Structure 1
Amino acid sequence: MSTFTIFLALIVVVAFLLIVVIMVQNPKGGGLSSSFGGGGTQQLGGVKKTTDFLDKSTWTLATLLLALILLSNVAINRGGENLDSKALDVDATTTQSLPTIPSDTANDAAEPIETPQE
């Protein structure tokens, strides 16, 4: 298993967790944070602590996802190929000729298409 594959698996897991955490939140205060600790009870730390936890976990997962994406670029196997630009190489300049049409197909294309008359 390559390093890039490990990074890819971690990115998928973190992205899934980030989606779950975002979907649990409700901007109007009626989501999971209001069901825990509602009515004055202190279940799981209350509404304020649940909202703080969801907010902090969102930022943490988003930062982790960005870091994993940037680090996965380093882990890509480039196969040892030279990544220098060919446009700047003076010796690598080549000229391309335009494709030529064979003479027998050129005459066929020039003939009008006959349509049946009614």
Structure 2
Amino acid sequence: MSTFTIFLVLIVVVAFLLIVVIMVQNPKGGGLSSSFGGGGTQQLGGVKKTTDFLDKSTWTLATVLLVLILVSNVAINRGPGGVESKALDPDATTTAPALPTAPAQTTNDAATATPKDSL
């Protein structure tokens, strides 16, 4: 398994966890935080601590995802030569696509004839 594949799997796992953490949150007081601390009781850390945990985990997972994406760019197998683009390769030759030619203008005597001439 290549290094890029490992990074790809980690990116997918972190993205899934980030989706789950975001979906659990509810900005209007619902979600997981309200079920743990509803009614003013302090169950499992209370509303404030659950909200803080979800907020911190969201930022942490987002940062980890960004770092994994940036580091995975280094792990991409660029093949022999390691040139990223043909625009950067001095040996690459490219041909410009042929431009379409305009149709030749033909004159049609019937089209240019006046109605008087055609009678």
Q: Normalising by the residue count of structure 2, what TM-score does the alignment of the two structures yield? A: 0.72
Q: Report the AA paired with residue 54 of structure 1.
A: L
Percent identity over the alignment is 82
Q: CA deviation digits over 1:60-109, x for unaligned, max 9? A: 000000000000000001113241755784x766766859xxxxxxxxxx
Confirm whether residue 63 of structure 1 aligns to residue 49 of structure 2: no
Question: How well do the aligned residues superpose, as a CA RMSD in angstroms?
Answer: 3.1
Give the distance between the partners of 1:26 and 1:71, measured in 2 at CA.
Answer: 32
Aligned pairs for 1:71-82 within 5 A: 71-82=71-82
**What is the DSSP-based 3-state SS (H/G/I as helix, E as strand, rest coil) of the residue aligned with 1:81?**
coil
Distance 1:11 1:46 in 2: 31
Matched-pair contact (CA < 8 Å) for 2:86–2:92: no
| Equivalence for 1:8 | 8
Stretch of structure 1 that moved more, 76-85 or 1-10: 76-85
2:39 is paired with a residue whose SS is: helix
Return structure 1 stretches of 4+ with deviation > 2 angstroms.
84-89, 91-99
How many positions carry a matched residue from both structures? Answer: 104
